[in-house]
A and B are shown apart, each in its own frame.
Chain A
Amino acid sequence: MNARTGTDGPAIEVRHLRKSYGDMTAVDDVSFSVAEGEIFGLIGPNGAGKTTTIECALGLRTPDSGSIRVLGLNPGADVDKEQLHLIVGAQLQASALPALLRVGEILGLYRSFYRRPADADELVGVLGLAGKRRSFYKNLSGGQKQRLSLALALIGRPKIAMLDEMTTGLDPQARRDTWGLIERVRDRGVTIVLVTHYMDEAERLCDRVALIDRGAVVAIGSPAGLVERAGGGQRVRFVPSGPFDNRLLTGLPEVKDVERHGGHVVVSGSGELVSAVILALAAAGLTARGVQVESATLDDAFVLLTGRHLHGEGTVLRP
């Protein structure tokens, strides 16, 4: 629902957003829209412009050009900020809380900012901070600070939650718990924008993602759709029971390429690749041992769509 006009429309609409800091262009023509109740991912390497986009949508930065509407509100307009901050909860990267306040005190403080706040006990329980209510903020681990920050993003029962790198610094169990929490929050009708450079997180949670690279949107779609668009490939790796000519497999319609790594054969392709390969081998009197099947992931899609590795050379990984 549009907060100002009361009409239905996208929860968030970003059109031709541009923002530079001095000579450095952080965001160079980003457009996307997020439907209500959707979990939308902004994914890409660090420095791609994801955080700047979110900060513009929160009214923390003023875009150089382009427009943003969040439930019909303009985050850049002072008159809309009051309403915006009531209905949008956010987790920011570059922010902190007073070192000498206790977790319980911080939660109580942020609860008091809203007329109908969420149940702090429930949030703290789900986020595994129940035993930490008496701890000073400065004594929390990185992961605990992260979870508290997530709790504060949700404590005002927002209609939209914008979460910037919410699971960075969390251990695998805490990440899975956090994913569960995000899904439950979405089930209550909250629209969620996730900024992440973890492709597994995006594949697990997001209905749709925008791949962002060097300040521009490279592709938008469902994670499965993007993988499909990038060739939807699979790879089958096995050790054959005897020698064979590559042409045995390259002739198959499902097969795109055959490579040999030592004793291993790696066949890439699509469709019913595994059965096609096994059948062709059997017809030649061969069997495949140690068969491993890898499906293409968003990581692969990103590489194919941008020609660059997400976590490889040339991209700086944030700790």
Chain B
Amino acid sequence: MSNRWSLLPASTPRAAFGMIVRNEARLGRRKPVALFAGAVVPTFLLVLFGSLRPTNIPVKALGGLTDFTVYVPIFLAMVVAALALFGLPVALASYRQQGILRRLSITPVPPAWVLAAQFVLNLCFAAIELVLLLAVAMAGFGVAAPKSPGGLVLALAAAIAALFSIGLWISAIARTEQAAGLLALAYFFPMLFFAGLFFPRAEMPKPLLDASNFTPLGAAVQAIQSALLNGFPPSVPLLVMAAYAVIFGALAVRFFRWE
């Protein structure tokens, strides 16, 4: 990152950060691409699947799970991926393209505050939407309470770290808003495929499942599903997500440009 001056300038009012978050929220609401992909679509799909497929008949091919229980972790992972890929990167790329960050860089506010605000905002959206989605699944479709709530929080936190790092990487390499949107799409659907949205991980052939375990969303679904149904998630998917967070985070920091 080229701007190495203080990220917390002494004389800049801290309230400015709150104002930036407020205005980013307004912008997110007025152009709700990320909110739509990250909140409306997963909720809609969850309700649709819950209404169309049996929620209480165990399926042998799914290892005795119901169709519906298999999809809950996938939708949770989808929320995180949509907000991380369509929220932060597209906004930042457009701000950079239009010179909004450039204008900001001559005020007492470091442009990094906008990035932080975007992060906080999308994190809040994700938290609200994840809780809502789980509540709908439990109250509406009889999904059992998570076996390991702490493990679920950890699995989701790891997924958030991995996916937001990839989002940051996209905003680092995309020169325009359009490029960021296209890159986000190019990451989103293959990741959802490996997460098992199009056919469940339990039905994947062994090589595909192995590959899936090492994709960010495949690992996320593995960890989330385990926390929901079995208990504290195994360490491999958590470590896979941590590795994505570290690698893409470092690449993003290395290549990010404010202008």
List residues of A whose CB falls within 8 A of some B CB.
58-60, 78-79, 81-82, 85-86, 88, 90, 92, 94-101, 105, 108-110, 112-115, 152, 156
Contacts and interface: CB of A to CB of B under 8 A. Distances in A.
Contacts of B6: 82
B102 interface: yes
A114 B108 contact: yes
B107 A156 contact: yes
Given A78-B5, A82-B6, A82-B10, A113 B23 contact: no
Contacts of A105: 23, 26
B11 interface: yes
Contact of A81 (B5, B13, B95, B103): B5
Given A79-B5, A112-B13, A98 B95 contact: yes
B106 A112 contact: no
Nearest to B101: A95
B100 interface: yes
B103 A92 contact: yes
B236 interface: no
A90 B108 CA distance: 12
Contact of B107 (A100, A110, A115): A110
Interface in B101-119: 102-103, 105-109
Contacts of A58: 106
B27 interface: yes
Contact of A82 (B18, B23, B99, B108): B108
A252 to B, nearest CB: 55
Contact of B108 (A86, A101, A152): A86
B243 interface: no
A86 B18 CA distance: 19
Nearest to A96: B98
B103 to A, nearest CB: 4
A101 B102 contact: no
B15 A101 contact: no
Given A60-B106, A94-B102, A109 B23 contact: yes
A94 B96 CA distance: 11
B9 interface: yes
A134 B253 CA distance: 37
Interface SS of A by simple majority: loop
B20 interface: yes
B19 A94 contact: no
A90 B107 CA distance: 9
A105 B20 CA distance: 10
B30 A100 contact: yes
Nearest to A152: B103
Interface in B1-29: 4-6, 9-13, 15-16, 18-20, 23, 26-27
A60 B102 contact: yes
Contacts of B9: 82
Contacts of B26: 100-101, 105
B109 A113 contact: yes
A81 to B, nearest CB: 5
A97 B94 CA distance: 11
B53 interface: no
Contacts of B11: 82, 86, 115
B254 interface: no
A112 B15 contact: yes
A100 B91 CA distance: 12
A59 B106 contact: yes
A94 B259 CA distance: 11
A70 to B, nearest CB: 12
A92 B101 CA distance: 12
A56 to B, nearest CB: 12
B39 to A, nearest CB: 19
B95 A60 contact: no
Nearest to B97: A96
A156 B108 CA distance: 9
Contacts of A98: 23, 27, 95, 100
Given A60-B106, A86-B11, A112-B13, A94 B27 contact: no
Choose among B11, B99, B102, B107 the residue with the greatest number of A CB atoms under 10 Å from its CB: B107
A112 B100 contact: no
A97 B103 contact: yes
15 contacts: A59-B106, A60-B105, A79-B5, A82-B9, A82-B11, A82-B108, A86-B108, A92-B103, A95-B99, A96-B100, A98-B27, A105-B23, A109-B23, A115-B13, A156-B108
